[in-house]
Amino acid sequence: GPLEEMTLPLYFGWFLVSAVQDNVRCTAMDFLKTLDTLEVFKKHLNEFTGKAEKEVDLEQYFKAKGTLHCTTKFCDYGKANGAKEYAEKQAVTDFYGSAFELSLSALFVTPRTVGARVSLTEEQLLLWPDDAEKEAESVVPAAASLPLGSRAHVTLGCAEGVEAVQTGFDLLEILALQQAGQQGEVAEEMELGTLAYFGEGRWLLSLREPMRIPAFFSSFYG
């Protein structure tokens, strides 16, 4: 019945504690503010606007998408493949409500999304679905050959009309290029780290110091 179906959440994931959400948002905003002033970024601006515009305000371009989190399993209230199996996994029930420290190792920007890459520990990988990367194969063909956890991210913002699910695809695309031997063109040494360009409006800032962020493993019902 409908009540039973409601017992599964929209998704499981790590939720950044609210006190640090602003920290992460500010860091991302500062990065965007700097990025859109860089000559190397302006050179590729048409990949964002589709026109030969001279400027784009990236802080306006991307819209925030609710509470900051790293999705482990999108369950869609039980309608998604493997939702029930995931919810019943030993690690999921054991760790539900537990505190973790997430390592945000990079920021990335594409014409569609801005996000943070999350580098998962062995323990955190116990909560990662085996098929999370494979599920992205129809969008990013090389995704299935990437290591488990490659898709882990925090969505920081999406362009108008873009859904948050896109952020993980954008990250996988960049990682697939890296795996294929493309390290990106080093564009700029920034205070936060090294900025590399991967073509088609894709930028990756590898953080010199990963951000270590407290987060709780839980679920979201909406």
Q: Which amino acid is at 158?
A: C
User: Which long-range contacts does 4-8 make (Cβ < 8 Å, 24+ apart)?
Assistant: 5/77, 5/78, 6/77, 6/221, 7/78, 8/75, 8/77, 8/78, 8/83, 8/84, 8/87
Burial class (CB in 10 A: 0-12, 13-18, 19+), 42: middle
Shortest approach of ligand ACK to residue 155 CB, angstroms? 3
Q: Which residue has the closest beta carbon to ligand ACK? A: 155
The answer to whether 121 and 102 have CB atoms below 8 angstroms apart is: no
- Cα torsion 78, 81, 84, 90 to 10°: value is -140
Question: Could you tell me if 36 and 54 are in contact, meaning their C-beta atoms sit under 8 angstroms apart?
Answer: no
- Give the C-alpha separation, 70 to 155, whole Å: 8
Give least dist CB 37 to ligand ACK, A: 27
Active site (catalytic) residues: 69, 153
Toward ligand ACK, which CB reaches closer, 67 or 183? 67
Task: Please give the Cα distance from 210 to 7 (Å, whole number).
Answer: 36
For ligand ACK, the closer CB: 45 or 159: 159
User: 35 vs 152, which CB is nearer to ligand ACK?
Assistant: 152
If the CB atoms of residues 112 and 202 are measured against ligand ACK, the closer one turns out to be 112
Interface residues with ligand ACK (CB under 6 A) are: 10-11, 71, 74, 155, 164-165, 167-168
Which residue, 171 or 187, has its beta carbon nearer to ligand ACK? 171
- Distance of closest approach, residue 117 Cβ to ligand ACK, in angstroms: 12
Shortest Å distance, C-beta 1 to ligand ACK: 24
Minimal CA–CA distance to 98: which of 213, 212, 14? Answer: 14
- Minimum distance from residue 114 beta carbon to ligand ACK (Å): 11
CA 185, CA 91: separation in Å to the nearest integer?
40
